[in-house]
Amino acid sequence: MRIEFVPADSQAGATAALAVLAYEAAALSPEAKAVNDAAGGAIARAAAGGRFIGAKGQVLDILAPAGLDAARVVVIGVDGAGVVEPETAEIAAAHAYNAVKTSGVTELLLKLGGDAETAARVAFGVRLAAYRFDKYRTTEKAEKKPSVATVKVAAADPAKAQKAFAALEPIADAILFSRDLVSEPANILHPEEFAARVKGLESLGLEVEILGEKEMAALGMGSLLGVGQGSVRESQLVIARWNGAADKSAQPIAFVGKGVCFDTGGISIKPAEGMEDMKWDMGGAAAVAGVMHALAGRKAKVNAIGVLGLVENMPDGNAQRPGDVVTSMSGQTIEVINTDAEGRLVLADALWYTQDRFKPKFMVDLATLTGAIIISLGNDYAGLFSNNDGLSEKLLAAGEAEREPLWRLPLPKAYEKQIESPIADMKNIGGRPAGSITAGLFLQRFVNGVPWAHLDIASTAWRKGSTDPTVPDGAVGFGVRLLNRLVADAYEG
C-alpha cells in the first residue's frame, strides 16, 4: 500500500473512496459540507435515515453518491465541536481505512482537515490499521484481501505533511516489526531466528551482540539456561546498543525483554486448548526489539541498551523438573516449583546481566508474565510494578499519551513470604494469591539498587476483538509506542 500527501482540493476518482468527518449531532466538517453540497444533501439524508449522530468511531458509508465521481463516501464520527486533534485524526483515519479496505475500491482519499502534524498522524493511523500478517496464506479468496492500494492524505501543505510523517514513519516501521515477530509461528521464530532478525537491525545503526549457551554458562546464568534445557533450540541472549547521545560514553537507559519463543509450560505442561497462543510469549522481547528499532530508525539522541532473553520452554527428557534448584548469575538460588513460571527465571539473569555490565540510569523490563494480570486488569491495561516513583510517573504519562495505558500495582514486602523456599534463597512461584505481585517481587530481587520498572503485558500483547482501530486482531506491538514516547519526552538530550 502506498501513502501520498496531496493538495487539500484533490478529488476522489471513480474507483476511490472519500473519507470526511462529522462531529456531535452529525455536524459536518468543512470538507464534509462541501461533499454534502456537491452530492445534493446526500450525507445529511443518509445521516438522518441511518441514526448517524457523529459519535466517536461511528461510520456512515454512502455508495456512489450522485454528483460525485467517488465510488463511495465514508463519514467518520469524532464527537467534539470541530477541533480535530492529531490523535483524533489518527483514530478516524484508521476507522476510515477499516471501513473500505476490502470493499473493492483501490484508492482512499482522506480529507480529515488539520495542519501538517495532523495529516502526518492520519498517515500513521492508516499504516498501523493496514497491518496484516498473511505471508503463509496461499488460498485466500480475493474478496477477503484488502483492495486499497493507494491512500491519499489531503493536506494544505503536502510537502510539510510529508516531512512531519518522516518523523513518524520509523515508529510505524518498528511497531510492525514487533508485530511480525509476535505473529510468527514458533517453528519459524525460534531463539536463533529471533536473534538473527534483531542482528539484521544493524542496517539501522544498532550494534548487536549475541551470546549462546556456552557464553551464558560461563557467566553463571543458570536461571535462564534451566528454562531452555529441554529444547533442541539453543537459548540466546541478544544485546542491542544504540549510541545516539552526543556523549557516546554517557550512561545508557536499558530495556529488557522476556523472549520465550514457545511456552509449553515444560514439565508443568499447559492444557492443550489454547496452547497455540503461546507463540506470543516472547511479546516482551518483541517490544524491546521494536523500541530499539524505533530509536535507531529516528536517530534518537540517547544511549540505549536492549537485552533480550530468548528461550523455548519444552518438556523433553532433559527438561527442568519441578523441585530443581538453579543458581542465577547474581549467585542467588531458586527452587523451581513450577516450570510454567519460567519467564521470571529468564528475566532474573537478563536483568542482573544488564545492570552489572551497563550500569544504566534505569531498567524497564517487559514480559507476558502472568495470567493473573489479565484477571486483575482485563485486556486494556498492562501492569506496572516499580521501585521508583519518578520512573513510574513518566511511564504512566507515556502510556496515557500513546493509548498504551498502564496501571501501577504495589510491591508489598509482606508478600515476599509467599516466595520463600525451605531449601533455596527463593522459589519461583508464590501461589494463586496476588500472582502478578509475587512475580514482581521475585524480579525485584535481581535489581540491585537501579531504578527499575516491570511491565506485565500478558494482558495487552495480543488482542482478540480489538477496540482500537489502529490495532488489528492479533499482535499489538504493545510497548513500542509507550517506550519510544518515554525516551522522547524524558531522556533525549
Secondary structure in 3-state letters for the chain: CEEEEEECCCCCCCCEEEEEEECHHHCECHHHHHHHHHCCCHHHHHHHHCCCCCCCCCEEEEECCCCCCCCEEEEEECCCCCCCCHHHHHHHHHHHHHHHCCCCCCEEEECCCCCHHHHHHHHHHHHHHCCCCCCCCCCCCHHHCCCCCEEEEEECCHHHHHHHHHHHHHHHHHHHHHHHHHHCCCCCCCHHHHHHHHHHHHHHCCEEEEECHHHHHHHCCHHHHHHHCCCCCCCEEEEEEEECCCCCCCCCEEEEEEEEEEECCCCCCCCCCCHHHHHHCCHHHHHHHHHHHHHHHCCCCCEEEEEEEEEEECCCCCCCCCCCEEECCCCCEEECCCCCCCHHHHHHHHHHHHHHHHCCCCEEEEECCCCHHHHHHCCCCEEEEECCHHHHHHHHHHHHHCCCCEEECCCCHHHHHHHCCCCCCEECCCCCCCHHHHHHHHHHCCCCCCCEEEEECCCCCEECCCCCCCCCCEECCCCHHHHHHHHHHHCCC
pLDDT of 81 reads 85
What span, in angstroms and rounded, lies between the C-alpha atoms of 313 and 315?
A: 7
Give me the pLDDT at residue 82, please: 85
Q: What is the pLDDT of residue 459?
A: 96
Cα–Cα distance between 306 and 346 in angstroms, integer? 15
Q: Phi and psi at residue 407, in whole multiples of 5°?
A: -130, 125
Output the pLDDT for position 438: 98
| pLDDT at position 131 | 98
Q: Annotated catalytic sites, by residue?
A: 270, 344
pLDDT in the model for residue 410? 98
Task: Give me the count of residues in the chain.
Answer: 493
pLDDT at 466: 87
Q: Which amino acid is it at 12?
A: A
91: left (phi over 0), alpha (psi -120 to 50) or beta: alpha
Q: What string of pLDDT tens digits covers the 493 residues of the chain?
A: 999 999 999 999 999 999 999 999 999 999 999 999 999 999 999 999 999 999 999 999 999 999 999 999 999 999 988 889 999 999 999 999 999 999 999 999 999 999 999 999 999 999 999 999 999 999 999 999 999 999 999 999 999 999 999 999 999 999 999 999 999 999 999 999 999 999 999 999 999 999 999 999 999 999 999 999 999 999 999 999 999 999 999 999 999 999 999 999 999 999 999 999 999 999 999 999 999 999 999 999 999 999 999 999 999 999 999 999 999 999 999 999 999 999 999 999 999 999 999 999 999 999 999 999 999 999 999 999 999 999 999 999 999 999 999 999 999 999 999 999 999 999 999 999 999 999 999 999 999 999 999 999 999 999 998 899 999 999 999 999 999 999 999 999 7
**Angle in degrees, CA 306, 312, 313, rounded to 5:** 125
Return the C-alpha cell found at 398. Answer: 507515556
What pTM value is reported for the model? Answer: 0.97
Give the separation between CA 327 and CA 342, rounded to whole angstroms.
Answer: 14
Cα-Cα-Cα-Cα torsion 199, 293, 202, 214, nearest 10 degrees, comes to: -30
CA neighbor of 288 nearest in space, from 45, 38, 478: 478
Here the cell at position 80 is: 467534539
Cβ-count burial of 47 within 10 angstroms (0-12 exposed, 13-18 middle, 19+ buried)?
buried
